[in-house]
Structure 1
Amino acid sequence: MIAKAYLWYGVYIILNVLTIAGSDPSGGAGIQADLKTFSALGVYGATAITALTAQNTQGVTALYPVADYIVAAQLDAVFRDLRIDAVKIGMLANVENVLAVSSVIERYKPAHVVLDTVICSSNGYLLLEPCALAALRDRLLPLASIITPNLHEASVLLGEPVAADEVQMIYQGDALRALGAQAVLIKGGHLLGNCSPDWLIEKSGHTRISSVRLKVIGTHGTGCTLSAAIAALRPQNRDWTNAVNNAKIYINQALLQSTRLSVGLGTGPLHHFHAWW
């Protein structure tokens, strides 16, 4: 499960993974969750911050986007100096930042791009301006190696009702892949039932990746952590199926062990370092 060093010109080196996302001062989601995930999975993390938020375990209360030229400058600084083995993209906040990130991805062409299509927070706070939705769908989505929408995000991206079952999930996953993404991991955590089914949609076919629904309260940052784990693990796995399966193993343990933490008065975070603490 944990990423390993690989041979590079006769020397074993650690993978470098970049996260492009917003900041969570409570440490459970966003850039902070991504860096914890990278570290827990044995890769070196670099960052480009797209927005500052005021949030905690009870929800998001304010958001301040970083100027697009600062986002672009952060990314140029990283790509010009670091060998980046994979990229995770999270919250982008506005159209300017969607376009800035798209331009940089087009320029440097990283091998693996995981796009977490963040649209709103779990408490309903809008994290992506409505006018930026078209740019996210039309400009950035085709540059992604894989996108990881939940059911609500998939419905918004497609302009369709939220999928009510797995048949509709597969249909919407196919529709999203038709927009240009190489692969789609559509997450069924909001469906009712004892299991939480995700569907990996690729050109080669559909793969169901299911896990038992866990009754825990430490779920803050689950989507951020999953996409970060996939980005960390993909360069060391032969395909998306293995990368996603291993990322889900990590996520499930982080959820189960979240009860060991005592963080905040609301929905607490996952235990990213459950294997170490």
Structure 2
Amino acid sequence: MNPPVALTIAGTDSGGAAGTAADLATFAALGVHGACVITAVTAQDTTGVSDIHPVPHASIEAQLDAVFDDLPIAAIKTGMLGTAAAVEAVARRVVKLSVAYGSLSASQPPLVVDPVLVATSGAVLGGEGVRRAYLDHLLPVATVITPNLDEARALLGHDGSPEEIAVALAGARGSTSGCAVIVTGGDPAATGECTDWVAEPGKPAIPLAHPAVPTSNDHGTGCTYSSALAAHLAHGATVHDAAEQAAAYVTRQLHTSRTWTLGRGRGPIAHTQEKK
């Protein structure tokens, strides 16, 4: 039987830890065929991002056409989009799909939006125009968004606890959008656990706790989580079940890479399988 197909729409990472490198490796590890649309080429390593080259808008559109005209996409995941035009282009494509399916519905490929605005190193990967484009165009057609706490606060424009931010962001575009929110991470120092907060419009947020892995080899964790989520959705899991399975996968991969000494900065999360 054919594997499900998931599409990542994101930038590259020359160090191989994040972006499309992380997404495609995660898709493969979880039994999904990965397709990709490149939105930006970055020069980055474990110490930071030194250069960003946005892919011309026409090329992004052509890549989207090539993938959607040929492959049966079971899930879509966005990462670094880089420009407001790219955000709007992806949103238009999802709306076009919704017309083909008749409406934004469960039969349409789920869309996972990882709103990449700031890199772990602190490099700004999307400014105010990109933030507004996410809110105005992409979130209303998304299935689920996966910001970390800093990204979630940046999207909303104010502070709050992870639970409060998750609920507020889920309702930011109104309950008709059907967009779930998973605010990832949390401070594990006190409990030894990380807690993700999952919120759907009109519902209270639900905490999902998972073990914290003490390591500085965590570059690419957010990309790996969101692509694992998309992979499990491609296999037919619910958002809640996919969130639990994605967190478990990231925990395993961090455990594998926790003692690595790759690079001069924050090392990569593992995209290899731990030897038994």
Partner of 1:141: 139
Given the alignment, which residue of 51, 54, 60 partners 2:40? Answer: 51
Partner of 2:152: 154
Partner of 2:101: none
Partner of 2:125: 127
Question: Residue 181 and residue 54 in structure 1: after superposition, are their counterparts in 2 closer, same or farther (change >3 A)?
Answer: farther
Partner of 2:72: 83
Question: Residue 92 and residue 167 in structure 1: after superposition, are their counterparts in 2 closer, same or farther (change >3 A)?
Answer: closer
3-state SS of the aligned residue for 2:38?
strand
Letter in 2 for 1:85: A
User: Structure 1 residue 187: deviation in Å?
Assistant: 1.6
User: Structure 1 residue 190: deviation in Å?
Assistant: 4.6
3-state SS of the aligned residue for 2:117?
coil
The normalised TM-score by structure 1 is: 0.89
With 255-264 and 177-186 compared, the bigger mean Cα shift is at 177-186
Conserved 8 A contact 2:213-2:258: no
Partner of 1:4: none
User: Once superposed, what is the RMSD of the aligned Cα atoms?
Assistant: 1.9
Q: Deviations over 1:85-113 (max 9, x none)?
A: 00000101111111111112211244210
Conserved 8 A contact 2:87-2:130: yes
Question: Residue 178 and residue 187 in structure 1: after superposition, are their counterparts in 2 closer, same or farther (change >3 A)?
Answer: farther
Query: How many residue pairs get matched?
Result: 264
Q: Deviations over 1:10-65 (max 9, x none)?
A: xx220100000000000000000001101111110000000011100111111111
Conserved 8 A contact 1:118-1:153: yes
CA distance in 2, matches of 1:276, 1:120: 33
CA distance in 1, matches of 2:234, 2:221: 21
CA distance in 1, matches of 2:187, 2:139: 23
Q: Deviations over 1:195-236 (max 9, x none)?
A: 211111124553211112221111000000000000001132
Give the 4+ runs in structure 1 shifted more than 4 A: none
Gaps of 5+ in 2: 99-107
Question: Residue 30 and residue 108 in structure 1: after superposition, are their counterparts in 2 closer, same or farther (change >3 A)?
Answer: same
With 42-51 and 235-244 compared, the bigger mean Cα shift is at 235-244
Q: Deviations over 1:162-216 (max 9, x none)?
A: x3x4543444344446373521101243575322111111245532111122211
Letter in 2 for 1:172: A
Q: Is residue 172 of structure 2 the alignment partner of residue 183 of structure 1?
A: no
What pairs up with 1:228-267 in 2 under 5 angstroms? 228-259=227-258, 261-267=260-266
Question: Residue 37 and residue 92 in structure 1: after superposition, are their counterparts in 2 closer, same or farther (change >3 A)?
Answer: same
CA distance in 2, matches of 1:61, 1:102: 29
Question: Residue 114 and residue 276 in structure 1: after superposition, are their counterparts in 2 closer, same or farther (change >3 A)?
Answer: farther
CA distance in 1, matches of 2:34, 2:47: 27
3-state SS of the aligned residue for 1:121?
coil
Partner of 1:202: 200
Partner of 2:26: 37
CA distance in 1, matches of 2:22, 2:226: 10
Partner of 2:84: 95
CA distance in 1, matches of 2:89, 2:170: 27
Partner of 2:190: 193
Gaps of 5+ in 1: 1-11
3-state SS of the aligned residue for 1:211?
strand
The normalised TM-score by structure 2 is: 0.89
3-state SS of the aligned residue for 1:23?
coil
Partner of 1:226: 225
